Amino acid sequence: MGCDIHCYVEIRTGNSWEKVGKIFDHPWYNPKEPTRVDGDYEWNAKKTDSPYMGRNYELFGILAGVREPDFVRLADPRGLPRDVGMEVKRMSDGWGIDGHSHSYLTLRELLDFNWFQNGTEQWRIVSPEEYDRWKRTGKPDSRSKGVMGSLTRTVSNEEMEKIIKQGGEKGISYFTKVTWYETYKSCCVNFVTETIPALERLGDPEEVRIVFWFDN
């Protein structure tokens, strides 16, 4: 089952925090398709109130230790801020027990984190096609860390090379483990190069924060 993030931005206004509106470009907006409203939901919206909507487990691990606990994390989940704005609190409450690992981080904390020097060795279990991609680009697209089934075999890289050249047993799907090293920036390039700069445009890093939680 996949895990998604629900992330919103609050700005300090006087002694309280207020959620920003739909000011961020929606990553899945298609200008060739119509925009329509269905109840409280806007289909094919051009703007969104969420600064980040992707499913990046490496980022989830860095933000709160979710899905990828081996990453150096910015903080353990802190829960909602004690002074969270009513709008974000209402949205969080709407998820009930399906929402988990609630937390928040100031823009200052995001900026001070060493995205460029922190790094990690990554690994995945890949098919012959993804193995070839890993050899060509240094990184596969696969997110799998395991395969199951009586007709699957996990082999060494050397065996995979032979299977690709000579073929393997008929009816068997072959997989192998590959590893590579990535900086945290390269793991989370959209967040680092797009989301954080968008937050910087909103004001003082001490007065801007993201509030977020996850659901499975």
**Is residue 147 pLDDT above 90, yes or no?**
no
pLDDT at 119: 78
* Residue pair 207/15 in contact by the 8 Å Cβ criterion: no
* Residues 79 and 12 reside in one and the same domain: yes
Q: Give the mean model confidence (pLDDT) for residues 202-214.
A: 98
Q: How many domains does the chain have?
A: 2
* Residue pair 106/98 in contact by the 8 Å Cβ criterion: no
**Is residue 22 pLDDT above 90, yes or no?**
yes
Tell me the pLDDT tens digit for each residue of 43-96: 899 999 999 999 999 999 999 999 988 889 999 999 999 999 999 999 999 999
* Residues 198 and 160 reside in one and the same domain: no
Percent of the chain predicted with pLDDT > 90: 79
**Does pTM surpass 0.95?**
no
Tell me the pLDDT tens digit for each residue of 150-185: 999 999 999 999 999 999 999 999 999 999 988 899
Which residues constitute the domain of residue 110?
4-115+188-215
Q: Per mean pLDDT, which range of 9-23, 142-156, 160-174 is the poorest?
A: 142-156
Contacts of residue 72, Cβ cutoff 8 Å, sequence gap at least 6: 62, 118, 184
Say if residue 182 is exposed, middle or buried (CB neighbours under 10 Å; 0-12, 13-18, 19+): middle
pLDDT at 55: 95
First-last CA distance in the chain = 6
Say which DSSP state 138 is in: S
**How far is 127 from 116, CA to CA, in rounded Å?**
30
Q: Which of 65, 84, 30 is nearest to 211 (CA)?
A: 84
* Residues 56 and 92 reside in one and the same domain: yes
* Residue pair 180/121 in contact by the 8 Å Cβ criterion: yes
**How far is 82 from 85, CA to CA, in rounded Å?**
9
* Residues 150 and 93 reside in one and the same domain: no
* Residues 79 and 157 reside in one and the same domain: no
* Residues 109 and 201 reside in one and the same domain: yes
* Residues 22 and 94 reside in one and the same domain: yes
